[in-house]
């Protein structure tokens, strides 16, 4: 097995630094022999890995193509222009900034472009699936801005639109954020646009999770509605770890200056090249088929979990994401995550709208990249329930998981 799909690279590392080579190969083995159900993860392609492992990693490039603070940028300028043009075409956006180092950096830059410290921002509350950058007191967002949180209906798990409207009218926020780390349904961007217009707020869509589904035509796009769209490139979109921002031409300069020089230094050109590769992949019919399969798989997984007794939030999903309460199986989310990990099933805990204890958050982006389909999803639901009901020993399930994933290697060869 090779670490980067460039066997010669792996050999170099093995010879020079066996200690580190061992660690990298150990992680490849972990990813290849356990079940990856973390909703934010995926397997990027060998071509994306090749760009990440390229000498573009050596290049310093502060600024933007044609206006850099360093010499020798003529080649990487082409890489960044290519990434920008591909992102604009893929999402139908007037402007794209592909430099944010992460999803959080993209959100920080969006706030920096539109807000001043102390401004009021309305976003989904953290207990309902808001991200840390949506007002957590432990994050810059909660310290520098005055966040007001909207919620979801405790019964249905759906965003409480009436509450959003009421809070917007009461607090007159400078910006409204829509987007979540755990919301399994499509977001009604037209609704948020209408409320933002009514109270004179900017609309920021934090589409870190669904942006890959948007690329594949399997989820509605926030681009026509939001003033600024923040996203990651490594979740369903299946690119390198990183962020990006999409916006209209009117905000392009403010957004660019908010990324560099306000919140970041030199752009990571190897990552930007890898983003370009991923945008190229995401523009293909094969990726559209992938995105639709991701959703079909999540629906089967949600139905399978419900049939096993889990309480599935909102009763199902429109996306790659499923959140479920395992309480009826006699276990809380945190305990369940530990037991499942011991059985080789890797997933996250999350807050649940109707429960005090945490539930489980699962996603189908990675397993679908591996080639798994609806039959495998149904089997996974049974495996999960078996472990949590105590019907199956974790060691036995561990073997079944190994056999299942063995048929779908993420990096064949």
Measured from each CB, the residue nearest to ligand PLP is 103
Residue 409 makes CB contacts below 8 A (sequence gap 6+) with 32, 370
Site residues (CB under 6 A) for ligand PLP?
40, 102-104, 107, 131, 133, 179-181, 206, 208-209, 232, 243
Known catalytic residue at 206: yes
Is 182 or 345 the residue whose CB approaches ligand PLP more closely?
182
- DSSP-derived letter for residue 158 is S
Q: Which of 81, 88, 165, 241 is catalytic?
A: 241
Q: Which of 82, 232, 271, 314 is catalytic?
A: 232
Q: Rounded to the nearest 10 degrees, how much is the dihedral formed by the CA atoms of 392, 396, 398, 403?
A: -120
Q: Which is nearer to ligand PLP, 104 or 293 (CB)?
A: 104
Q: Is 78 helix (H, G, I), strand (E, B) or coil?
A: helix
Provide, rounded to whole angstroms, the least separation between the CB of residue 177 and ligand PLP.
Answer: 9
Cβ closest to ligand PLP, residue 3 vs residue 230: 230
Task: Determine phi and psi for 340, rounding to 5 degrees.
Answer: -70, -40
Active site residue 60: yes
Q: Return d(Cα 394, Cα 196) in angstroms, integer.
A: 50
Closest CA to 348 of 36, 50, 54: 36
| Residue 381: CB minimum distance to ligand PLP, A | 24
Q: Please, which residue, 209 or 270, has the CB nearer to ligand PLP?
A: 209
We find the least distance from the C-beta atom of residue 133 to ligand PLP, in angstroms, to be: 5
Could you tell me where the DSSP H helices lie in 34-138?
Answer: 46-52, 74-91, 103-114
Active site annotation includes 235: yes
228-232 and 321-325 strand pairing: unpaired
Residue 369 burial (CB < 10 Å; 0-12/13-18/19+)?
A: buried
Residues 6 or more apart whose Cβ sits within 8 Å of residue 25: 1, 3, 10
State in angstroms the smallest separation of the CB of 382 from ligand PLP.
29
Clarify whether 62 is annotated catalytic: yes
User: Which residue of the set 59, 193, 235, 299 is catalytic?
Assistant: 235
Which of 359, 351, 358 minimizes the C-alpha distance to 129?
Answer: 351
Closest separation in Å from C-beta 17 to ligand PLP:
27
Q: Which is nearer to ligand PLP, 49 or 126 (CB)?
A: 126
Q: Which among 4, 9, 33, 62 is annotated as catalytic?
A: 62
List the structure tokens of 387: 């472990």
What is the SS3 assignment for 37? coil
Question: Which of residues 208 and 392 has its CB atom nearest to ligand PLP in the complex?
Answer: 208
Q: How far is the CB of 181 from ligand PLP (least distance, A)?
A: 4
Residues annotated as catalytic are: 60, 62, 206, 232, 235, 241
């Amino acid at each position: 097995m090779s670490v980067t799909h460039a066997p010669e690279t792996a050999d170099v590392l093995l010879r020079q630094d066996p200690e580190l080579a061992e660690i990298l190969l150990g992680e490849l083995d972990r990813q290849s022999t356990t079940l990856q159900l973390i909703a934010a993860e995926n397997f990027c392609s060998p071509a994306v890995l090749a760009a990440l492992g390229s000498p573009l990693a050596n290049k310093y490039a502060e600024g933007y193509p044609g206006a850099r603070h360093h010499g020798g940028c003529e080649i990487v300028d082409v890489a960044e222009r290519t990434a920008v043009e591909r992102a604009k075409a893929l999402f139908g956006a007037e402007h794209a900034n592909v430099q944010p180092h992460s999803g959080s950096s993209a959100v920080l830059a969006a706030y920096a472009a539109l807000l001043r410290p102390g401004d009021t921002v309305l976003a989904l509350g953290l207990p309902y699936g808001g991200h840390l950058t949506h007002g957590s007191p432990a994050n810059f967002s909660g310290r520098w801005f005055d966040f007001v949180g909207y919620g979801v209906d405790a019964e249905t798990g759906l965003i409480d639109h009436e509450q959003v409207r009421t809070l917007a009218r009461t607090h007159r926020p400078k910006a409204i954020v829509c987007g979540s780390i755990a919301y399994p349904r499509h977001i009604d961007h037209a609704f948020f646009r209408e409320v933002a217009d009514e109270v004179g707020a900017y609309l920021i869509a934090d589409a870190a999770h669904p942006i890959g589904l948007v690329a594949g035509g399997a989820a509605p796009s926030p681009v026509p509605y939001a003033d600024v769209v923040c996203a990651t490139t490594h979740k369903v979109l299946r690119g390198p770890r990183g962020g990006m921002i999409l916006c209209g031409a009117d905000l392009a300069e403010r957004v660019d200056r908010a990324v560099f020089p306000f919140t970041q230094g030199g752009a990571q050109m190897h990552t930007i090249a890898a983003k370009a590769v991923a945008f190229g992949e995401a523009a293909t019919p094969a990726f559209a088929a992938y995105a639709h399969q991701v959703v079909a798989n999540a629906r089967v997984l949600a139905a399978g979990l419900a049939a096993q007794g889990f309480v599935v939030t909102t009763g199902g999903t429109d996306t790659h994401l499923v959140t479920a309460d395992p309480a009826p199986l006699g276990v809380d989310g945190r305990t369940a995550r530990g037991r499942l990990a011991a059985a080789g099933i890797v997933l996250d805990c999350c807050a649940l709208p109707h429960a005090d204890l945490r539930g489980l958050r699962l996603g189908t982006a990675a397993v679908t990249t591996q080639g798994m389909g609806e039959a495998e999803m149904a089997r996974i639901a049974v495996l999960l329930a078996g472990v949590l009901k105590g019907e199956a020993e974790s060691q036995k399930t561990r073997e079944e998981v190994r056999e299942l994933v063995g048929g779908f290697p993420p990096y064949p060869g």
